Structure 1
Amino acid sequence: MTLIGRTRVRGVETLSLDAPERRNALSAALVGELAGALTDAGRDTGVRAVVLTHTGNTFSAGADLRDPPAPEALVGLLRQLVELPRPVVARVTGHVRAGGLGLLGACDIAVASHAATFAFTEVRIGVAPAVISLPLLPRADPRALARYFLTGERLDTAEAARTGLITAAGEDVDEVLAPILDGLRRSAPEALAETKRLLTARVLETFDRDAAGLTALSARLFSSATAREGMTAFLERRDPEWVV
Structure 2
Amino acid sequence: MTTALVGRNRVRGVETLSLDSPATRNALSRALVSELADALGACEKDDDVRAVVLTHTGNTFSAGADLKDPPPPHAVPALLRRILELRKPVVARVAGHVRAGGLGVLGACDLAFASGTATFAFTEVRIGVAPAVISLPLLPRVDPRALSRYCLTGETFGAAEAARIGLVTQSAGDGDLDEVLAPVLDGLRRAAPTALARTKELLTAKVLEAFVEDAGEMTRLSASLFAGPDAREGLTAFLERRDPPWVL
User: In the alignment, what sits opposite 1:98?
Assistant: 100
What letter corresponds to residue 153 of structure 2 in structure 1? Answer: T
| Structure 1: distance between partners of 2:157 and 2:74 | 28
- Aligned ranges 1:117-156 → 2 under 5 Å: 117-156=119-158
> What residue in structure 2 maps to residue 182 of structure 1?
186
Q: Find the aligned partners of 1:22 and 1:32 in 2 and give their Cα distance.
A: 16
State how far apart, in whole Å, the 1-side matches of 2:180 and 2:140 are: 24
Q: Distance in 2 between matches of 1:120 and 1:145?
A: 9
Describe the SS at the equivalent of 2:4: coil
Name the amino acid aligned to 1:88: V
TM-score, normalising length: structure 2: 0.98
Q: Following TM superposition, by how much is the alpha carbon of 1:71 offset from its aligned partner in structure 2, in angstroms?
A: 2.4
| Distance in 2 between residues matched to 1:93 and 1:55, nearest whole Å | 9
Does the Cα contact within 8 Å between 1:71 and 1:131 map onto a contact in 2? no
**Deviant stretches of 4+, over 3 Å:** none
Residue type at the aligned position of 1:81:
I
1:107 maps to which residue?
109
The structure 2 residue matched to 1:234, chosen from 217, 235, 238, is 238
Q: Which amino acid aligns with 1:209?
A: E
- By how many angstroms is 1:115 displaced? 1.1
Letter in structure 2 aligned against 1:105: G
1:187-198 aligned at under 5 Å gives the runs 187-198=191-202
Q: Could you tell me how far apart the structure 2 residues matched to 1:62 and 1:173 are?
A: 23
Stretch deviating more after TM superposition (73-82 or 166-175): 166-175
Length-normalised TM-score, structure 1: 0.99
> Match of 2:7?
5
1:40-86: CA deviation from partner (whole Å, max 9, x where unpaired): 00110000000000000000000011111122100000000000000
Report sequence identity in percent: 72
Q: Which residue of structure 2 aligns with residue 88 of structure 1?
A: 90
Give the number of equivalent residue pairs.
244
Unmatched segments (≥5 aa) in structure 2: none
Shift of 1:172: 1.1
Whichever residue aligns with residue 198 of structure 2, its letter is E
Cα offsets for 1:170-214 (capped at 9, x unmatched): 131101100100000000000000000000000010101110100
State the alpha-carbon separation in 2 of the partners of residues 172 and 101 from structure 1: 22
Q: Give the Cα–Cα distance (whole angstroms) in 2 for the partners of residues 49 and 8 of structure 1.
A: 10
Question: d(CA) in 2 for partners of 1:194 and 1:106?
Answer: 17
Question: In structure 2, how many angstroms separate the alpha carbons of the residues matched to 1:71 and 1:51?
Answer: 26
Checking the alignment, whether the CA contact within 8 Å between 1:49 and 1:184 is kept in structure 2 is yes
1:20-31 paired onto structure 2 within 5 Å: 20-31=22-33
Aligned twin of 1:32: 34
